[in-house]
Structure 1
Amino acid sequence: MAWLRNMKVANKVLTLIMLTAIFLSGVGYVGYYYTNQLEKSGEALYSERLVPVRLVNDMRAHSRANEAIVYARILTNDPAQSQKLEAEFTDRVQKLNDDIKDYDALVLTQYEKDRFAQFKDSLATYRTEREKTFAALSKGDKAGAYNAFKTYALPPLDKVNSLLTDLAAYNDKMANDSIQQMKSDKSAANAMIIGITIFAVVAAIAFGLLISRMVVGPVREMLGLMSRAEQGDLTVQSTNQAEDEIGLLSDSFNKMIAGVNQVIKEINTSAMNLAASSEQISASTQEIASGTQQQAQSTETMHEMMNQFTDAVQQVAQNAEQAAVNSEAAVTVANNGGEIIHSTIEAMRTISQRIEDLSGKSDAIGEIIEVIDDIAEQTNLLALNAAIEAARAGEAGKGFAVVADEVRKLAERSGKATKEIAALIESIQKNTADSVEAVKVGNEEAAQAGNSFAEIVEVIRQSANRVTEIAAASEQQAAQAAEVLKSVENIAAVTEETSAGTQQTSSTANELARMSEALSQLVSKFKV
């Protein structure tokens, strides 16, 4: 039955329809055939049996009527009645002759031909003998007419009636046989029609059930597989290998399931990779956010320290300016000491030039702090030297000693503030160098003790000039500190932006992780 299974569904249905049409055509043909046979049998029954029976019965009736008319003419004495009977007799004879002629024209069997020939011979004899009766009546001899009819005409007449009775009985029997044959044909036709109909119904039902099984079974299987696939089972496979439309549909279904299965596997793998990447991004973002927060706190701390440092430097600058103003009074008598102060200022400039750029670099900030601290120490040393020289100068150096003492105090305050800032910056600068080598400036001043007041005045002038330079350096340090503070503020702003971006990235990573989890849960519903 492989050929039927591989047949297209339309051809299967068409085959079932054609088979049903063939069976119906067979039933129709049998009905048509036997209907025609019954029609022919009916026509034959009418023309070959009923018509002969009618003609024989008519001839018998005419014969009996003529016999009665003969008796009536013998018995009647009324001439008018006799004429009427004679006219009726003549009409009957004519009708009898017509019936004989019609019967002789029919298709007769040999038995009928023999009997009918005997009938015509007996009828001719009867008519000949009957003339004797009519001759006696014409003479008025009724008794002679009766005796002649009874003696001569009646025996052939009885034979005529007997032959007609035989023909009637024979045709009646033949008609009954035809009717029985028609009934037999009808029974055979009914049996054949019923048999063909039953066979057609059984065959159509069997073939229909077979086709239905070949069509409905695979369709139900496909519905079941689709239902399982709808519930997420992507391991389903159709086993239908027929080459009809349903088989092709099953093959396409298998290919579709295989493709979807592969896509789901790829989606599952991608979802897992995406989840892992999202977790890694989230962890990295949290670490960055933590570092950024620490950096922001450190930047804030450094900002506060730089504010304190700037205030301290400005205070040093103001005090240095004040000391310079106070030293100007002694500048006129401190010419000899100008060279020493000038040398010190030149050393301070050399130290200032060696300070690196402080914008955005913690190491540079540390170096600046170290330079400032060194300047404070040098200033303190210069103040100490100035105090020593002032003590040597006696009364003339008291004013300068006061200035030197103020400079020393300012240097001490500046050094203390610088050390505090350096200590704070050291806690922030984890990745910077612990310290910057202090620039050692060998500024040995060979102060020759002498009795010359001019040398003492020169020392005082040099100290005054150095105070002036200190003031200028302090102003420069204040400007650089302002720039450092501005850089710190920029760093803080960038840190805040980085923190905001990090939070947004973390939120996006979390949302991506959540979507990956939802995708994984959705994909896990499929069985692959």
Structure 2
Amino acid sequence: MNKLTLRARLWILALVPVLGVIGTSVFSMYSANSVYSDLLERIHKEAFVAQSLVINGDRDLYQALVAKQALLAGGPGPDFEKNLKDFRENVVQVKDRLNRAEQILSAHRSGWSDFRLEGKPESIFDEFTALKADFPRWETASEKQIEDVRTGKTAPGASGEIEDALFKTVRGNINDIGEILDLGAEDSAADNRSRMDRTNMTVFAVVLAVALAALVLAFTTIRAIRRAVDRILSASEAGREGNLTVRTSLDGSDELAAVGGALDGMLDSLRKVVTDIQQKSAALSALSETTAASCEEVTSTTNEVAESNSRLAEEVNRGRTGAGEASKMVREMNSIILSAKELASSADQNSRQMAAAAARGKETVAQSIGHMENIRNAVGETEKLITDLNNYSARIGVVGTTITSLADQTNLLALNAAIEAARAGEAGRGFAVVAEEVRKLAEQSQQGAREVAELVGKILEGTESAVKSMETSRKGVEEGVSIAHVAGEALEKIMDATKSSVEDIRRIIAATDKEAEQSGRVIALIEDTASVMGNADEQVQNVAASMEETAAAMESVATGATEVSATAEDLRKITERFIVDGTPPRGLALR
């Protein structure tokens, strides 16, 4: 396989699926023919079984007719029950066979429904439906006809036109079913055979078209791949010989185009590298000459740097001393800031306590206002009750006055009655006793009314004093409520002022925190500066030593520059064999 060419491998790769498609198609045609044979056999078997059932049903129907005719002709006799049993058994067999035939055909109802006799629109299932309607009618009419002969209503040997017409209709339905079965079996076989032939032709045409399309596609693809491979191979050989201007120039988005693009990119990159090397070698040669001249300048500059280092060392010492003093001053300032922060924290705590006390005072005042409001309401209600009591007492005084007046009149009437009784003598003695008792009661009532009047007067005086006292209390309570509201508003302002103070103090604390942080950073920065100054002093000394080493190194650089110039010349000679701009070098022709 490894010895085959790429073209041969591609043709093998293309022919394998084509042969597979052809083989699969042949197998499919063979399988389809087998399925057709099985289907044809099943159709014939199904039609044969149904036809046998229909024929046997027709035979049973005829036997039932023979038994019926024997019953009607012989009348009641020794064979009547036997003939009746034969009639009924044949009727049951007719129903059973025709039902089984219909069930077999119903398994493929859609297929058998399409077959119809010439000149008749009914399908085979329509015939079964008509048979199910007509056969019970014939059976019922025949049973009635037999029963009439048994009971003597009809003379033996009589015939029925209706029953005969129904029998002919049933026989006609059965015959139509048999003919449709024959027609369906033949038409199904012919139709399936025609379908199978069309399927085989279609499969053959599709396989042929697929095979031709696959071969054309394979030929086109192989030719395109061959051309792409030839271009890639030509560009690779040209690049190997040093021609970096050749390109594959492959179009498309397949893998070979990607390989060609990658090869073109590699040749572009290689051309740029060679061009860059050529340019760098020329620049390196010029640079080596410049380096040799610069070495002398560096040597003189090194001496000047050494003198500058001495002056820099003195400045560094003075800077380190100043940094120490600055660090000391900043530390003192930092301690002052921390003290201010502590005082601000204490003020913040006191302000918070004051705010809490003001809040509690506000809450207490609010509660006091609520209680005083309740007292004011209670005083108002009490004042109303006392006023009502005063009114009731006044009414009681009026009633007492009325009672006193009535007692006086009663006393006067009792006196008049006593006088009249005295005039009557012995006859009026009893009445005189009663009049005396009435007079005594009137005097007692008068005395009670006077006492009630005195009590009512005292109550009126007390209620008037209570009303005045309640009014004074109400005014005092209202003034207390007003004062409590004023106190609440004052506490509200105190709380607002306290909150503002707390916020200001928190801002002061935050500011002192930032100042302390900044002062800490300044201290660290000054200490770092002092450390840097110390390091700078050491570095200055190291630079002084390095200057001496640099002077010695410049001599080595001058020697190295001469060697680099020679190397650049060798590199230029090596890169001359590559073509980078379309012009072949000496001794190399462009292919």
Q: Is TM more than 0.5 here?
A: no
TM-score, normalisation: structure 2: 0.30
TM-score, normalisation: structure 1: 0.33
Larger Cα Rg: Structure 1 or Structure 2? 1
